[in-house]
Structure 1
Amino acid sequence: MIFEALAASTDPNGLDTSAIASFIEQRNEVPQNFRRSLTGRLRRLVQQDKLEKIQQCYKVKTDPLSVMKAPAPMQNDIQPKQSQSPVYVTVGSDTLEESARAAAQSIAEAEYKSNLAAEQMKEAERISFMVEDTESMLQLANEILEQCSEGEVLMVG
């Protein structure tokens, strides 16, 4: 969801935490401590080199190697070289229909796999939020344990 918010942004500087949170909150139901866990998740993504933080904004980190590997755009004024003699290919109607069916089947399978991958990404993000919530609860429990072991009396309300 974080990457979805950043991809939807048109701002070249990225988005700040509140803009990312607002984007996610508009599209999903979120827990009460969502903003705190979002901040932790953003910090982790920066540490993993998946996001970069510039001032108070986050944006997807671009890999300099992938930019160098990108093919150069073709120029419109360059025309392919014409061959001296034309080449004719004869394809039977059965072979053409079989090829069309195979291509349609491949497209359908690719669309199915794409949808399945999108669903799995949503589930992975949901689980990630659950992990962050659990980590927050564990940290709170450790703080309470530490205070109680020092003899403090805590009122939980």
Structure 2
Amino acid sequence: MIIEALSALKEPNGSDNRAIISYIEQRQEVPQSFRKQLCSRLKRLVAVEKLEKVQNRYKIRKDETFGTKTPSPKQKGMRLKHVTCDSVEEASVTAAYLIAEAENKSFVAAEAVKEAERVSKMAEDTDSLLQLAKEIFETCSQGEIMLMA
């Protein structure tokens, strides 16, 4: 996704974090922690010399020969049926893009599971409170006095 963003933005001096984030967010659903993940991935790509960082801007290293075609972001919910690659470099870019997309979806799914568990716990707590309220109502409607400590 990062390589695709930098290729598409085509800024001669490179693109800053905000431009890259904006480009990706416009094309894909991203998790809340995406900005932090992006920063660490940018650092890693600089460390393995895939990207060059100059004055807080990132650009693809000139000695890297990535394929001219990058996978276009697919619409949410669509399945990738067939990918053809003309070169090893293009295949590696495509594979990296698909892996990053799968990692993103896995993260979003894990967050959704956590949220579902949280909501389930809230529902259980609410049900317990409802039961307590019913018992108090029943006791009070019979004229009994309840002391609560």
- What is the TM-score with the length of structure 2 in the denominator? 0.49
TM-score, scaled to structure 1: 0.47
